Amino acid sequence: MVIVMRAEATGNDLAALQAAIEELGMQVHVSRGEERTIVGLIGDKRNVEGFPFTSFSGVESVVHVTHPFKLASRDFHPEPTVVDVGGVKIGGGNLVVMAGPCSVETRDQLLESAHAVKAAGAQILRGGAFKPRTSPYAFNGLGVEGLKLLAEAREATGLKVVTELMDLEHLDVVAEYTDIIQIGARNMQNFPLLRELGKIQKPIMLKRGLSATIEEWLMAAEYILSGGNSDVILCERGIRTFETATRNTLDLNAVPVVKRLSHLPVIVDPSHGTGVASYVPAMSRAGVAAGADGLMIEVHPNPAKALSDGAQSLNVPQFQSLMGEIQALSNALGLRLEERETETVSP
């Protein structure tokens, strides 16, 4: 349930309403827009059945929310959420590009990647320190050493850092070294982990599960939001279908659907969504055109020698070319994308 306040409602009106709601055993979520203030009620709806909220001064109307996700819903929060990552704003008409290698392999590889994506116009460096792999014999990342290298790359370039957290054991150390904590597709419904992420004040990027519906994805976000962490970013990274021509099926339908249902910003990952480097530019452009708030792209100085996901990684010249296209597209769509540096990076 949400209560819509009148435009002329006072602070005292809102305070009286909040006190009454809390007396009924419900939690209160207040969202202040440019024209209206929305008061969301969270808890057992039986506690408030028949309660005369419209009799309170300043109340315009009461709306019953049908979606099971409450805090993630636009009914509770009509205005788009903008997640501020140390000055890099995600959502609200800003287009953000996260780029870098799938895995942190060596210091030289990471620093070369970081400087290259920075010069091309990316604002956030991606790189896996802990790598969930299908095979236990594949490269599983450098762990804490990889986190330290990401922090060094951030210091050298000014880029913000996003990296994946796999389990509760490493929550504190990952939170220490990263600016955005990524939750991968395999962990989208790791509810104990999501609950703990709700208790920290660090932006969380929640990737859609391999076979998750949009509702399941938003309900997973609800776990984080309900714990008090409002800085949640969604990432569409492709779902598993019967198609085998690509690694996954990048569900760009999800972008406008989620934008209609939720206020949370949405990032598109065309690298995992296709699994094929040559398809990444087209799906990047399509993601921006569909309304995504940003892109997450795998870039490696030498994809042929990458220890993971080389087949879907762009090399530096390919990424430079794509960023030129994204800049032109963002200009046409009226989006704000940080301008590229004037110098170029040699292949």
Query: pLDDT per residue over 196-240, tens digit each?
Result: 999 999 999 999 999 999 999 999 999 999 999 999 999 999 999
Q: Is 341 a domain residue? A: no
List the CATH number of the domain containing 111: 3.20.20.70
Cα dihedral: 122, 333, 282, 180 (round 10): 30
Rounded to whole angstroms, the Cα distance separating 219 from 213 reads: 10
Q: Is 74 a domain residue? A: no
50 shares its domain with 131:
no
55 shares its domain with 101:
no
Residue 133: what pLDDT? 61
Examine the pLDDT at 340 and tell me if it is beyond 60. Answer: no
205 shares its domain with 58:
no
Q: Is 27 a domain residue? A: yes
Q: Is 343 a domain residue? A: no
Which of 33-47, 159-173, 258-272, 275-289 is the least confident region? 33-47
Average pLDDT of span 250-269: 98
266 shares its domain with 121:
yes
User: What mean pLDDT value characterizes the chain?
Assistant: 92
Q: Is 71 a domain residue? A: no
Examine the pLDDT at 345 and tell me if it is beyond 50. Answer: no
| More confident position, 336 or 261 | 261
Q: Is 345 a domain residue? A: no
51 shares its domain with 99:
no
Is the separation of the CB atoms in 40 and 76 below 8 Å? yes
8 shares its domain with 99:
no
Look up the domain containing 144 and give its range. 83-333
Residue 138: what pLDDT? 65
193 shares its domain with 238:
yes
Q: Is 50 a domain residue? A: yes
- Give the pLDDT band (50/70/90) at residue 78: confident
Is the separation of the CB atoms in 210 and 247 below 8 Å? no
Encoded tokens for 130: 């802990």
161 shares its domain with 273:
yes
Q: What share of the chain is helix, strand, coil (3-state, %, to 5)?
A: 40, 20, 40
132 shares its domain with 13:
no
- Give the pLDDT band (50/70/90) at residue 139: low
Is the separation of the CB atoms in 221 and 234 below 8 Å? yes
Examine the pLDDT at 335 and tell me if it is beyond 50. Answer: yes
158 shares its domain with 212:
yes
Residue 346: what pLDDT? 40
204 shares its domain with 323:
yes
List the CATH number of the domain containing 40: 3.30.70.1140
Average pLDDT of span 330-347: 66
Examine the pLDDT at 312 and tell me if it is beyond 90. Answer: yes
Average pLDDT of span 125-145: 80
Residue 347: what pLDDT? 38
Counted domains in the chain: 2
Q: Is 116 a domain residue? A: yes
Examine the pLDDT at 344 and tell me if it is beyond 50. Answer: no
55 shares its domain with 195:
no
Element spanning 191, H or E: helix 191-197
- Give the pLDDT band (50/70/90) at residue 27: confident
Encoded tokens for 245: 């021509």
- Give the pLDDT band (50/70/90) at residue 339: low
